[in-house]
Structure 1
């Protein structure tokens, strides 16, 4: 993926990792469009930044995604990079029968949302030079957090989807996976200051350095996430599962 001169869409670009990456890609000389549900958050992310734009997007609606794609391409026909970052993370108690509204919303936003948006834009992207799709997954795609089972499952599914997409779009669109570790953002309540989580600025610095490599890695992995990404391959999955969940529980207790 080239570093500058792109027109980049970042979903979930109003806050957290999405906003941080959008601003850093803008700093690198790209036109950037941020998309999300909240216009006020999007406006704040682009404030004072020429060639940075905001469009509202509700990934929960198939019709909404199709309408968004039409508006996007009409306003920004040079679009050549899609970064699927929008996502939600909800804690769940899977030990008893419960209301599945959170689980269903997580599947719709984290899994159906990116699939729908890729489908809406793949023909356009395939016709562009230097086209790329970046799917943001998670270290939890590889070792699950037991309190967020549906979130883990959606990220594991997007990992698999990305691997398949990379093969079928080879030679047309570069397909990249970005798998963050636990980062200090507003993804869950109190996470912005949770002990032991990677500071957002540090994470973003490391990610941008990886994107500057030539060629861009197929999997963009900061050092902190490799403990999870390679746990199974290195024969330490079971112990890593225990360590991860103990770490997460302790971090929440210490707040």
Structure 2
């Protein structure tokens, strides 16, 4: 993926990793469109970065993506990069008497169907460009689940498998497929406490490493994965899966 001279659409682009990527690409002179649910956040990022275009998108609304698709196809026919970053994460305790599938279905709708539907909406446009990229946000937890977040981890396993198949199908079409697999980063994905958790990687450090890897085309198999997560990524291959699983999910 080239890191300059792009027209980039980032879903979930008003906070966390999405916003940090939007600002990093904007600073490199790209045309950046961010899509998100909260209009106040859209206004905030457009005020800070006057060249960024903010458009509303609620993946829970069946008409919202259709409106975004029509708007982007009309106003930005040169779109060549889609970053499907919108996602949610919620803990689930299936042992609780009050547990039901509400959070499960919300995660599936955003993290799985949201990625698929967004890709379907913009892939025809991306195919028309000479250098296009689809990047979706996965997680290192796709390879080693945190049991207290069962559906979130499973949704990221889906993203990994789906992108692998998509990459193979598009191998003769100039659309690069990348998977961004962040570690535990200081964002508000699971709540405000995560943003200040000293165990989490500072967001600015993570984005700096991601942009360097993109600039150096350092993403074997299309995976943008930090070295700190290699142990989880290759645990089954290395015979360390059971040990790591217990370490992450103590009894």
SS across alignment from 1:34: strand
Quote the Cα distance in structure 2 between the aligned partners of 1:203 and 1:80. 24
CA apart distance, 1:63: 3.0
Q: Which residue of 2 aligns with 1:178?
A: 180
* Cα deviation code 1:46-96 (max 9, x no counterpart): 323243110010112333222211112212111100001110000100224
Q: Which residue of 1 aligns with 2:3?
A: 3
Q: Does 1:210 align with 2:213?
A: yes
Query: Contact 1:62/1:116 (CA < 8 Å) preserved in 2?
Result: no
Q: Which residue of 2 aligns with 1:239?
A: 243
SS across alignment from 2:119: helix
Quote the Cα distance in structure 2 between the aligned partners of 1:245 and 1:32. 39
* Cα deviation code 1:123-169 (max 9, x no counterpart): 11111111000011001110001111000111000110000000111
Query: Contact 2:219/2:225 (CA < 8 Å) preserved in 1?
Result: no
Larger displacement relative to structure 2 (73-82 or 137-146): 73-82
1:120-159 aligned within 5 A: 120-159=121-160
* Cα deviation code 1:94-129 (max 9, x no counterpart): 224512111110000000001001111111111111
Aligned pair partner of 1:222 in 214, 221, 226: 226
Q: Which residue of 2 aligns with 1:37?
A: 37
Q: Which residue of 1 aligns with 2:54?
A: 54
Quote the Cα distance in structure 2 between the aligned partners of 1:236 and 1:49. 45
* TM-score, normalised relative to structure 1: 0.92
Quote the Cα distance in structure 2 between the aligned partners of 1:225 and 1:46. 34
* TM-score, normalised relative to structure 2: 0.94
Q: Which runs of 5+ in 1 are unaligned?
A: 250-255
Query: Contact 1:15/1:45 (CA < 8 Å) preserved in 2?
Result: no
Q: Which runs of 5+ in 2 are unaligned?
A: none
Quote the Cα distance in structure 1 between the aligned partners of 2:171 and 2:152. 28
Q: Which residue of 1 aligns with 2:202?
A: 199
Quote the Cα distance in structure 2 between the aligned partners of 1:42 and 1:104. 26
Runs of 4+ residues over 6 Å off in structure 1: none
Quote the Cα distance in structure 1 between the aligned partners of 2:245 and 2:15. 29
Quote the Cα distance in structure 2 between the aligned partners of 1:198 and 1:215. 20
SS across alignment from 2:48: coil
SS across alignment from 2:238: coil
Q: Which residue of 1 aligns with 2:161?
A: 160
Q: Which residue of 2 aligns with 1:117?
A: 118
Larger displacement relative to structure 2 (167-176 or 110-119): 167-176
